[in-house]
């Protein structure tokens, strides 16, 4: 048994960012510059303006010291997808598989948005997620869904995919429309340097975690042990295939030896802090 960790680089340099943000170029209430100003004031390091079927020009903006990532939200004709790295709008196409292929061919990547949104908790039916191939990530927490129909949390949908052997990274994004939609959930990236290239590389390889308020100081894998240090964590939960809980351990430091149990194709860790504050690691694969 061996653990395959996405946290190859695990320095103290962490960068906070949001990839799902709307402006007055679609259905947001703030102009692009107002959105950038807001997130800069909140201490963010990177941001993507993801208007509906519209690429907002980031070159015309004052970046306020942040890395602004190009992209947009694909919404016409089907379930919503984030096109990270998108510099032009693709032809509208309801066939989401062809859209994913087109994005991958252009060097971008796709995040599936808010799977548990809407009254039936199924903006994305699980059968459709199982069918689609080549998407990079899933929003396991969608901030605006706290005030919308359905559920903000979608780790259940994530576990269903991971349990089928799919490599899908979990993302946390605000999906900002109003000012009060900001800083609900975010992605904390371990990166070699503060540059868009380095941030994108870490997002591609899973070298980040999702948070709603819990800070993870360090994540290490040594042999069959996972060690996590998190000053904010009161309890760690270790999750395996099909969402089964392997262990619940008191914080703020966890050193967990992977047991010999079945089924066991991956592990992920949930960090519980004060109140509703949480953090979620990416999955560790078992080989």
Output the pLDDT for position 20.
98
Contact 62, 36 (CB under 8 A): yes
165-174 residue pLDDT tens: 999 999 999 9
Q: Please state whether beta strands 225-229 and 235-240 pair in parallel, antiparallel, or not at all (unpaired).
A: unpaired
pLDDT category at 224 given cuts 50, 70, 90 is very high
184-206 residue pLDDT tens: 999 999 998 899 999 999 999 99
Could you give the 3-state DSSP secondary structure of residue 131? helix
When the pLDDT of each residue in the chain is averaged and rounded to a whole number, the result is: 96
Output the pLDDT for position 261.
95
Output the pLDDT for position 227.
96
Q: What is the mean pLDDT of residues 71-92?
A: 96
Whole-number percent of the chain with pLDDT over 70: 99
CA–CA distances in Å: residue 180 to residues 24, 28, 42, 237: 15, 12, 12, 30
The pLDDT of residue 11 is above 80: no
Output the pLDDT for position 285.
98
The pLDDT of residue 10 is above 80: no
**Closest to 232 measured CA to CA, from 247, 248, 210, 253:** 253
Output the pLDDT for position 93.
82
Residue 185 backbone class (left: φ over 0; alpha: ψ -120 to 50; beta: rest): beta
Q: How far is CA 264 from the centre of its chain?
A: 23
Say which residues have a Cβ less than 8 Å from residue 180's Cβ, sequence separation at least 6: none
pLDDT category at 8 given cuts 50, 70, 90 is confident
Output the pLDDT for position 9.
63
238-280 residue pLDDT tens: 999 999 999 999 999 999 999 999 999 999 999 999 999 999 9
- Look up tokens 């900001």; give the residue: 182
Q: What is the mean pLDDT of residues 51-65?
A: 97
């Amino acid at each position: 048994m061996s653990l395959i960790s996405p946290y190859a680089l695990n320095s103290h340099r962490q960068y906070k960012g949001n990839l799902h943000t709307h402006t007055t170029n679609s259905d947001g209430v703030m102009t692009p510059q107002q959105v950038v100003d807001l997130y800069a004031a909140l201490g963010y390091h990177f941001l993507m303006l993801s208007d509906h079927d519209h690429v907002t020009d980031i070159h015309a903006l004052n970046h306020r010291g942040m890395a602004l990532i190009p992209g947009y939200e694909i919404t016409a004709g089907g379930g919503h997808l984030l096109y990270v790295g998108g510099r032009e709008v693709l032809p509208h196409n309801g066939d989401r598989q062809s859209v994913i292929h087109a994005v991958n061919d252009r060097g971008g990547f796709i995040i599936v948005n808010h799977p548990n949104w809407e009254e039936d908790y199924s903006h994305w039916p699980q059968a459709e997620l199982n069918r689609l191939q080549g998407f990079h990530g899933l929003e396991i927490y969608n901030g605006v869904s706290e005030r919308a129909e359905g559920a903000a949390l979608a780790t259940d949908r994530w576990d269903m995919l991971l349990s089928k052997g799919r490599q899908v990274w979990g993302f946390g994004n605000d999906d900002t429309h109003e000012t009060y939609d900001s800083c609900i959930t975010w992605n904390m990236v371990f990166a070699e340097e503060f540059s868009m290239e380095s941030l994108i590389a870490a997002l591609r390889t899973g070298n980040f975690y999702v948070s709603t308020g819990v800070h993870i100081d360090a994540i290490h894998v040594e042999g069959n042990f996972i060690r996590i240090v998190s000053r904010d964590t009161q309890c760690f939960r270790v999750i395996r295939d099909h969402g089964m809980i392997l262990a619940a351990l008191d914080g703020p430091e966890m050193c967990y030896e992977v047991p010999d149990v079945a089924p066991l194709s991956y592990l992920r860790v949930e960090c519980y802090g004060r109140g509703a504050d949480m953090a979620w690691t990416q999955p560790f694969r078992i080989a």
